[in-house]
Structure 1
Amino acid sequence: MSQPSSPPRRLRRWLRWLVALPFLFAAASALQVAVLRFVDPPFTAFMAGRQLEAWGQGEWRFGVSYQWRDLDRIAPSLPLSMVAAEDQNFADHHGFDLPAIQKARASNAKGRKVRGASTISQQVAKNLFLWQGQSRASRWLRKGFEAWYTLLIELMWPKTRILEVYANVAELGDGVYGAQAAARRYWGKDASRLTPAESARLAAVLPSPRRYDARDPGPYVQRRARWIQRQVQQIGGTDYLQTLD
């Protein structure tokens, strides 16, 4: 009796691995998110990408600036300004602001380009885990991973942890990540001593921190910072942080 040939057996093994890959990725990514609920990230995918980009352009002296600070060691005005500027429904949604997404799509369909409706949870997912790509295929693949990681973050982390991580990993200048690095770079002070006006200016440069300057703001950043300070009061001021889980 002839023995079964080895190629079919190898093929079956490869097929089993292909079937198992999504489950392995799901388990590994869930473990990543679970660990980062308690462990402060030493760096993010965006930081690594920016450093590699600089080296690729021959900027050998370029270095990412990043120093972690717990939320209670950051002036409350900064996370409040970020919520007011980026995601005023942060306390209520589960990772995706569907009304904002629909509104953005409707405006874009009419030819009026508006900013996207990316939430703070989505921004954390992108900064921590994803790459920056230009091709259409890369963008769609990245969006899928972003949605998955956003769901995991919302399921596993309290809102205060999401906001704490965002305040620490958001790019607030070229290669400047988080509250402490920005406070030191722009004003030579600790993040705990940021004023409401300074916090609003930091939030105002989002999501284009390489285009706008929080230390020497132009008219757009100044207008937006004033608007953010008004919105901080609208969402409840410092009492707002007490409503988060």
Structure 2
Amino acid sequence: MAIRHWSMGKLVGVASLLALIGFLLYQFGLFVMVLTLTVRDPSSSAFMKASLNTLRQADAQAELKHEWVPYDRISTHLKRAVIASEDANFTNHDGVEWEAIKRAWQYNQRQAEQGGERRRGGSTISQQLAKNLFLSDSRSYWRKGQELIITYMLEAVLSKERILELYLNLAQWGEDVFGAQAAARHYFRTDAGKLGAAQAARLAAMLPNPAFYDRQGGNTAYLRQRANTLMQRMRMVTVP
């Protein structure tokens, strides 16, 4: 009996060790992929692939609208608007703002208790990039934990300028629209580098729910109001 218990304990220990090794190898593989972002522009992301799969369930010929443009060919207005909207402290933090996460959690708890549907996210631009590149939109503690790990990888390896460049090129701006260039052409028939302040603010205001606003034609009363607010904030943010 003692031998049997010893054998079971040993098996559990070996299984735990193998699980730990597998976890570390997975993180190492992700880190290698993050390293490649220093020299390679990704042509797609986990979110883009998931969106394309969903679209092709209704239309087998569906394609995404996406075109990569370098950082210096993206309007400074859009850079300012996105930072003002999504992460005003972007250039100063190390990837995660724990106080913002706490405030968002408390707000969402109050909304849930009151039966409200509005939710806030405490994610920085770096966290959103980590999720968009490698993860799904599922809500689980494991996914959130993995997002934090990847975020710190991105911040350790990439400059703020590169992180913002990646984000602006991979962010979703419609049901099948990804990246600043495709968004500029889809909504304003212009290039990402030629976006004016009002246009940039309108695009930034769409980011929390781009597919919905795309179906509304990218022009609702809330978007106009939110864009006006962002235009006031844009002048106060720092762009890398």
Normalising by structure 1, report the TM-score: 0.84
Deviation string, structure 1 residues 132-178 (Cα, Å, up to 9, x no partner) = 33xxxx62221121111111011111111111111110001111011
Provide the alpha-carbon RMSD of the alignment: 2.2
CA contact (8 A) 2:108 2:120 kept: no
- Count how many residue pairs are aligned between Structure 1 and Structure 2: 225
Equivalence for 1:188: 189
CA contact (8 A) 1:45 1:128 kept: yes
Relative to 1, partners in 2 of residues 1:106 and 1:13: Cα closer, same or farther, differing over 3 Å?
A: closer
| 1:68 aligns to 2:68 (yes or no) | yes
**Counterparts of 2:228 and 2:61 in 1: how far apart (Å)?**
36
**Counterparts of 1:18 and 1:33 in 2: how far apart (Å)?**
23
SS of 1:39's equivalent in the other structure is coil
Equivalence for 1:222: 224
SS of 2:207's equivalent in the other structure is coil
| 1:124 aligns to 2:126 (yes or no) | no
Equivalence for 2:120: 115
Structure 1 residues without counterparts, runs of 5 or longer: 1-7
Following superposition, the deviation at residue 35 of structure 1 comes to: 0.6
Equivalence for 1:203: 204
Identity, in percent, stands at 36
Match of 1:231 among 230, 233, 236: 233
Relative to 1, partners in 2 of residues 1:13 and 1:164: Cα closer, same or farther, differing over 3 Å?
A: same
Equivalence for 1:55: 56
Spell out the pairing of 1:138-153 with structure 2 (5 A cutoff). 139-153=140-154
Normalising by structure 2, report the TM-score: 0.86
Deviation string, structure 1 residues 107-139 (Cα, Å, up to 9, x no partner) = 233337541111100110011001233xxxx62
**Counterparts of 1:18 and 1:164 in 2: how far apart (Å)?**
35
Following superposition, the deviation at residue 188 of structure 1 comes to: 2.0
**Counterparts of 2:153 and 2:16 in 1: how far apart (Å)?**
27
CA contact (8 A) 1:187 1:215 kept: no
| 1:170 aligns to 2:171 (yes or no) | yes
Following superposition, the deviation at residue 13 of structure 1 comes to: 8.2
Relative to 1, partners in 2 of residues 1:54 and 1:172: Cα closer, same or farther, differing over 3 Å?
A: same
Deviation string, structure 1 residues 8-57 (Cα, Å, up to 9, x no partner) = 9xx7987764342122112111101011122110100000001111122x
Equivalence for 1:83: 83
CA contact (8 A) 1:130 1:142 kept: yes
